[in-house]
Structure 1
Amino acid sequence: MAGAAMPTSTVKANTDTKKSYLFPFILVTSLFFLWALIHNMSPILIPHLKKACQLSDMQSAFIDSAVFAAYFLMALPAGAVMKKFGYKAGIILGLALYALGAFLFIPAANAREYSFFLGALFIIATGLTFLETAANPYVTILGNPDTSTQRLNLAQSFNGVGAMIGPLLGSQFILTGVELSKEQLNAMSPVALQQYLASESGTVKIPYLVIGIVVLLIALLFVFTKMPELTEQKDENIDATTSEKGNIFRHRHLVAAVVGMFFYIGGQVGVNAFFIRFAKYTAGIGEKEAAAMLSIAGLGFMIGRFFGTFLMRKFKPQTLLTLYGAINVGLILIAMTTKGQIAVWTVLAVPFFMSIMFPTIFSLGIKGLGADTKFGSSLIIMSIVGGAIFPPLMGLISDNSNIQMAYILPLICFAVVVWFGTKGYKLDKAH
């Protein structure tokens, strides 16, 4: 009957269900923050370890390579582990690896050995691969199916929080602000030089020790928290999916999406990776101030995602993708040809327009794949290996020219995004 009161028992059951999902939802949402925190501390580590380990720009960029190579190499093993042992076990293992990698920063700093740092980052990123594989599907089942999209958007907003806090933490607790020239370093006695380098290297110990402890505590909470089982529905098209894998590349728009994502991630990572060095070169801004400014870029990325979602109610995704890509090409061109605050702030504006690119390229790439959707999705995700390749190339350009010229690579990357938004997404329709 319309207007009739819901039975008390039903109301109580619904209320109890919401309460039982609330704490697991908070735990899973914390994972979105944790992986964003690490990703956005990489631009801090690049100039810091360059100084502490006396690296070239190209060598320092392998920090991003270690992280994104782990995603590329460990995504399929992570999925296999979770299929066998469950998502909760995968999350706990991911958090344990995350904490282990963070703790390994302490002996790496003591040894002041760059390869040790890279190994620790690879272990952290392996843990992140497990977390990202599990978190998105988990969020969708922790509550009413009708509101799963809202929950996922809420959880993903904590990526933006991590993007803001990561650079702030790095600027306060890792970067010292002591930036000596080659002449000043050469003028030091061997003992004084080693003391200085050891002091610089050692600043990562406490932050990563604290991060490791926090991550372990969250892992323990997962151990003792009853989590709902995430059961995957049987894929009715499993045979069709398997039979079509050999022909997956007949979807020309999917191939274009793989290429577009490869370049987009390369551009995204490259823009942030060398921002601190860029700010110093173009405007004389110190490392601590530049690191704090990166948090503004994180805020812009978060706001841009919400604003872009709103605009997509009025504009086609491919139209907005093309426009945002073109704007970023223009911004980077300005950044490459000017000096001072103009150059710095144009780079800081880029993340706002990057915000919609990943989900838009992804959704356009898998559109219409049918039984090939899962395999196509995996190919697009694996293409984020671009984040491991472009930063070292930027470093190589910087070593042979300057860091401002190195931004030619992100410019090219966003030009490829423009191509995908205008032509690539509809290649299948062109024949």
Structure 2
Amino acid sequence: MEHTASRPTAAQPGQAPMQSQTGALVIVTILFFMWGLLTSLNDVLIPHLKSLYTLSYTQAMLVQFCFFGAYALVSLPAGALIRRIGYQRGAVTGLLIAASGCALFYPAAQNGYALFLFAFFVLASGITILQVAANPFVTVLGPARTASSRLTLTQAFNALGTTVGPALGGVLILSAAALGADQLAALPAAEQAAYRAREAAAVQGPYLALAGALALLAVLFALARLPRVSHDDGSAPAAGEQGSAWQYRHLVLGAVAIFLYVGGEVSIGSFLVNFLGEAHIAGLSHADAAQYVSLYWGGALVGRFIGFAVMRHVSPGKTLAVSSLGAIALVLVAVFAEGSVAMWAILAVGLCNSIMFPTIFSMALHGLGRHTGQGSGILCMAIVGGAIVPFIQGGVADAAGLQPSFLVPAACYLFILFYGVKYATLHRQGVAA
């Protein structure tokens, strides 16, 4: 999941040599990959924990509620922490907290669902701090003229992480066939306990390995020679730039669009394994379905390159409107069709998602001037949609069924369609809404 920071400036004195910057860029790129992988692994763990603890869909979506809720609770404290200790130490702190969250999965496997939820929150808190701290380094690790290409590279590796995560989790965590609630209930109590212990233990090894990898990255980041990053916030406001970012209607609508986009994207990914396991859709085991979830996230990776070429000739608003219209159509096909048609329709939504986050983000910040930093913070807080929308879809799935519940993300894309059309109109008129 991308997270955009305001443009920093690097202090020229003591600038790290080019070789050191290249090494630092490699480390930062690995960070982008890691938090993409960790975020998409939730899509594998949700059906695993749902089966393990016989949860309802609403209860299972508490995973995303705790994970993305950290964005709302930790983003502002993370900014204050980084202003106090600096970007490099902030990144190290985020890595160590994320490593602690991964390590908590070991005792959680022996102590139940509540500790799993706490572990998800700790992990996401570390990722939030890490994102706030690491993004500015990308723009200063090299010449200013190539900053955009470095940002594209790191975001591509973030998308690569989200693509690899479900496939890796499917192999390491979902390798054994999960028992249904009725099958589990039919077992004697002793066998039920043994089954739960065995399935819970499948999480321990992979997340301990991830904890070790994050701790190692923290050490490497602490030892790396990085240029200093500072933000010039002391400039006097220009004429017409009084007030706050909240006065810009296109920013407020953009924050709603980010909330709904992240919510819709995460919600679809969260339910994919169970959806593909439905007998009238594909009847796949959890392990097999996890491999297809990688295609959903991989579509976003491929779509970024397509979108980059398209938006050189088509306005961002029109591109966003067409993408959201395509997402709505595909979700509706998935809701009302069956078999492979429904399966491939929902997987193809990932391709439509590809350009939405950066496009909405840039449109919402357009023309904010000195309020751009505040606007960026507002948009990043809106990522909490990843906590709320899956929870709503879980409630609909419990009440009306899994397939109809995908109308919830379809409604999210409907607002994004409105935002894209509205922005395209205003863009032609040269008016800032």
Q: Classify the TM-score, shorter chain.
A: over 0.9
- Tell me by how many angstroms 1:372 deviates: 2.0
Distance, in Å, in 2 between the alignment partners of 1:65 and 1:425 is 33
**Residue 33 of structure 1 corresponds to which residue in structure 2?**
33
1:336-415 to 2 correspondence within 5 Å?
336-415=335-414
One-letter code of the match for 1:221?
L
- Answer yes or no: is 1:264 the counterpart of 2:269: no
Instruction: Find the aligned partners of 1:425 and 1:21 in 2 and give their Cα distance.
Output: 39
2:330 — aligned with what? 331
8 Å CA contact 1:366, 1:377 repeated in 2: yes
Taking a change above 3 Å as real, the CA distance of residues 425 and 132 of structure 1, as seen in their structure-2 partners, is: farther
Q: How big is the alpha-carbon RMSD for the aligned residues of Structure 1 and Structure 2?
A: 1.8
Q: Deviations over 1:387-430 (max 9, x none)?
A: 10011111111111211111000100111110000125767949
Q: Give yes or no for contact 1:253–1:425 (8 Å, CA) kept in 2.
A: no
Distance 1:235 1:302, change over 3 A: farther
1:164-203 residue pairs with structure 2 within 5 A? 164-203=163-202
Contact 1:27 1:218 in 2 (8 A): yes
Give the whole-Å Cα distance in 1 for the aligned partners of 2:125 and 2:163. Answer: 23
TM-score between the two structures when normalised by the length of structure 1: 0.92
Name the structure 2 match of 1:12. none
Look up the SS of the partner of 2:243 in the other structure. Answer: helix
Higher deviation after alignment, 304-313 or 395-404: 395-404
Q: 1:43 to 1:359 in 2, by over 3 A?
A: same
Contact map agreement 2:105 2:119 (CA 8 A) in 1: yes
Q: Which amino acid aligns with 1:295?
A: S
For the Cα contact (< 8 Å) 1:177–1:286, is it kept in 2?
no
Instruction: Please name the residue that 1:230 is paired with.
Output: 229
CA displacement 1:40-70 (0-9 Å, x = unmatched) = 1011011001111221111101111111110
SS of 2:130 mapped into structure 1: helix
The aligned amino acid for 1:276 is V
Which stretch of the first structure deviates more once superposed, 182-191 or 323-332? 182-191
Provide closer, same or farther for how the CA distance between residues 137 and 286 of structure 1 changes in structure 2, counting only shifts above 3 A. Answer: same
Percent identical across equivalent pairs?
37
Residue 88 of structure 2 corresponds to which residue in structure 1?
88
Q: Which has the larger radius of gyration?
A: 1
Residue matched to 1:107: 107
Gaps of 5+ in 2: 1-15
Q: What is the match of residue 217 of structure 1?
A: 216
The SS at the match of 2:226 is coil
Matched with 2:8 is: none
Query: How big is the shift at 1:198?
Result: 1.1
The CA distance in 2 between the partners of 1:17 and 1:34, in whole Å, is 26
Alignment of 1:236-247 (within 5 A): 236-237=235-236, 244-245=243-244
Say whether residues 1:255 and 2:252 are aligned partners.
yes
1:294 corresponds in structure 2 to 293
2:181 and 2:17 mapped to 1: Cα distance? 63
Change (3 A) 1:241 1:24: farther
- After superposition, the C-alpha distances for 1:326-356 in whole angstroms (9 at most, x for unaligned) are 0000000000011111111111100111010
- The residue type equivalent to 1:128 in the other structure is I
Aligned-partner residue type, residue 314 of structure 1: H
Structure 2 Cα separation of the partners of residues 186 and 78 of structure 1 = 45
Aligned length: 413
Q: 2:412 & 2:33 partners in 1: Cα distance?
A: 27
- Segment of structure 1 superposing worse, 176-185 or 60-69: 176-185
State the TM-score, normalizing by the size of structure 2.
0.92
In 2 relative to 1, CA 79–430 (structure 1 residues): closer, same or farther, beyond 3 Å?
closer
Unaligned runs of 5+ in 1: 1-15
Given that residues 364 and 425 in structure 1 are in contact (C-alpha distance below 8 angstroms), is that contact kept between their aligned partners in structure 2? no
Q: Which amino acid aligns with 1:92?
A: V
Contact 1:256-1:425 at 8 Å conserved across structures: no
Q: 1:243 and 1:192 mapped to 2: Cα distance?
A: 67
Q: Which moved more, 1:260-269 or 1:203-212?
A: 260-269
C-alpha separation in 1, matches of 2:313 and 2:61: 39
CA distance in 1, matches of 2:134, 2:182: 49
Instruction: Check 1:240–1:290 CA distance in 2 against 1; reply closer, same or farther (3 A cut).
Output: farther
Residues 386 and 34 of structure 1: is their aligned pair in 2 closer, same or farther, counting only changes over 3 Å?
same
- Cα distance change on mapping 1:196 and 1:79 into 2, 3 Å: same
SS of the residue aligned with 1:244?
coil
Alignment match, 1:11? none
Q: Report the Cα offset of residue 249 of structure 1.
A: 3.3
Q: Distance in 1 between matches of 2:70 and 2:387?
A: 9
- Between the aligned partners of 2:225 and 2:242, the Cα distance in structure 1 is 39
Q: Give the structure with the higher percent helix.
A: 1
Per-residue deviation, 1:373: 1.7
Partner in structure 1 of residue 70 of structure 2: 70
